[in-house]
Amino acid sequence: MKKQFFGTDGIRGCVGEHPITVDFVLKLGWAAGKVFAKSNKGRNLILVGKDTRVSGYMFESALEAGIIAAGVDVGLLGPMPTPAIAYLSRTFRAQAGIVISASHNAYQDNGIKFFGGDGYKLPDEIELEIESYLQQGIVTSGSNELGRATRIRDAAGRYIEFCKGTLPSGFSFSGLTVVVDCANGATYHVAPDVFRELGAEVVEIGTEPDGLNINYQCGSTNPELLRQKVLETGADIGVALDGDGDRVLFVDANGGIVDGDELLYIIAMFRRANGFPCSGVAGTLMSNFGLEKALAELDVPFARAKVGDRYVIETMKKNQWELGGENSGHIICGDISTTGDGVVAALQVVRAMVEGGKSLAELCSGYHKLPQTMINVTIKNPVDLDSNEAVQKAILSAEKKLAGNGRVLLRASGTEPVVRVMVEGDDGSLVHELVHQIAATVSDLVS
């Protein structure tokens, strides 16, 4: 069966447009409750958390009602990072965790994504089973069988302690000044405290959510504000999270942006140098070729997965590797967490700085990024790029000009209505020229 609603990261869309509507989400909560109740795994409990966008309150109530109607208890976490909900689903022995979030998207969007009781994203067969229940009418359990709702008051504190516990006992960031940009999202009340309680002097930005400003001109998708604040305050580093806290990027003391590929390299290099597990690294089709070359110099195997952290995790599991991620800042330390965790990944990078006595820029010096440019071409309907003669001709022409010293990648986004056109190579000016030529061809097709 083909999934109708679930994409690469749950169900996502514009608020008020099907399927991101109150009636659909109510039924989704009921369907999920029925499926997880059948599993007989964990407590009769589903945890529900959200980011800070204004529509989250509405969808939280809808999910709560649907789950309770299915006869399952609900634990309401309030605003919490996506990785925190994965972690708490395990520690509460819940049947599942549900996240109300559209991650790095603007406030007009929202979404629903799921974790099993083991803290991992759901397998396809469970998502398909939930969709099968969506085809049925809601049948409310009898009054004596209804679920109950409880608000979990100490969720933030539990996650803060978990994050701190990923470092050795007594480890300190004392002497470091860190600017933390929480994107006015779900980490606003946890990430600054993690760094502060570890001894760093913390400068906060993006910690005043109003329901509408999530990811707006801040966070990992817009790090310019962070860069300015690092330079203004003379901070050692800046840490930029996204709206739901599963992505992280850094800014070094000189204002340089450090992306997910570079962070993967730093963590892998630190682990190899200090005898910690690093049997291989899983990246994606978008990972810079410079990462592959740098890891080869460390004698660390590397493999590319499809874009999306669930595919990265699949590759990690297949190869029994501990580390993986995306250049967007999804970093998975598989021996610590079950999903991308921006705060946890940030702590591993800062630990490498502290123990190595080096600046972030110095840690990045062994990694040489190839010029890479990506253009997002907006689409209204799915397009078949593989069979379009003009697009394929443009790709072949570009690959010929790159002469084996680069690559071309076109893919439809799984979270946004865009086709991503990426070109990478040794010659930056040629890369810039080619990516615009191909993007123009794709734009002509979709228009």
Any bridge partners for residue 111, and if so which? 12
Same domain, 72 and 198: no
Same domain, 210 and 348: yes
| Buried residues in 34-46 as b, exposed as e (16+ CB within 10 A) | bbbbeeeebeebb
> Residue 81 to residues 7, 58, 135, 178: CA-CA distances in angstroms?
20, 18, 31, 20
Residue of 376, 345, 330, 56 lying closest to 191 (CA atoms): 345
Q: Is 103 a residue of the active site?
A: yes
Same domain, 118 and 169: no
The whole-number pLDDT of residue 25 equals 98
Same domain, 292 and 400: no
Q: How many domains does the chain have?
A: 3
In a domain, 6, yes or no: no
Contact (CB, 8 A) for 287 and 307: no
Same domain, 281 and 378: no
80 DSSP assignment: -
In a domain, 1, yes or no: no
Same domain, 393 and 432: yes
Could you give the CA distance from residue 119 to residue 246 in angstroms, rounded to a whole number?
A: 14
Domain C-terminal end among 329, 344, 366: 366
In a domain, 281, yes or no: yes
Domain C-terminal end among 129, 153, 177: 153
Burial, 109: exposed, middle or buried (Cβ in 10 Å; 0-12, 13-18, 19+)?
Answer: buried
The whole-number pLDDT of residue 88 equals 98
pTM of the predicted protein model = 0.91
Q: Is 270 helix (H, G, I), strand (E, B) or coil?
A: helix
Same domain, 307 and 293: yes
Q: What is the maximum alpha-carbon separation in the chain?
A: 70
Helices 428-446, 389-402: crossing angle, 10 deg rounding:
180
Same domain, 75 and 134: yes
The whole-number pLDDT of residue 132 equals 97
- CATH number, domain of 377, equals 3.30.310.50
231 DSSP assignment: H
Same domain, 390 and 352: no
The whole-number pLDDT of residue 1 equals 73
Could you give the CA distance from residue 76 to residue 85 in angstroms, rounded to a whole number?
A: 10
Given 55, 89, 103, 287, which residue is catalytic? 103
Could you list the beta-strand ranges (E) of 298-400: 302-305, 323-325, 331-333, 372-378
Domain C-terminal end among 104, 137, 153: 153
Structural domain boundaries enclosing 102: 11-153
The whole-number pLDDT of residue 8 equals 82
In a domain, 351, yes or no: yes
- CATH number, domain of 343, equals 3.40.120.10
Single-letter residue type at 350: V
| Residue 173 phi, psi (nearest 5) | -100, 20
Same domain, 30 and 81: yes
In a domain, 4, yes or no: no
With a cut of 70, which residues of the chain have pLDDT below it? none
- The pair of structure tokens assigned to 209 is 């959510």
The whole-number pLDDT of residue 9 equals 87
Same domain, 357 and 377: no
Q: Is 328 helix (H, G, I), strand (E, B) or coil?
A: coil
Could you give the CA distance from residue 197 to residue 157 in angstroms, rounded to a whole number?
A: 12
Same domain, 111 and 195: no
The whole-number pLDDT of residue 144 equals 96
Could you give the CA distance from residue 333 to residue 8 in angstroms, rounded to a whole number?
A: 20
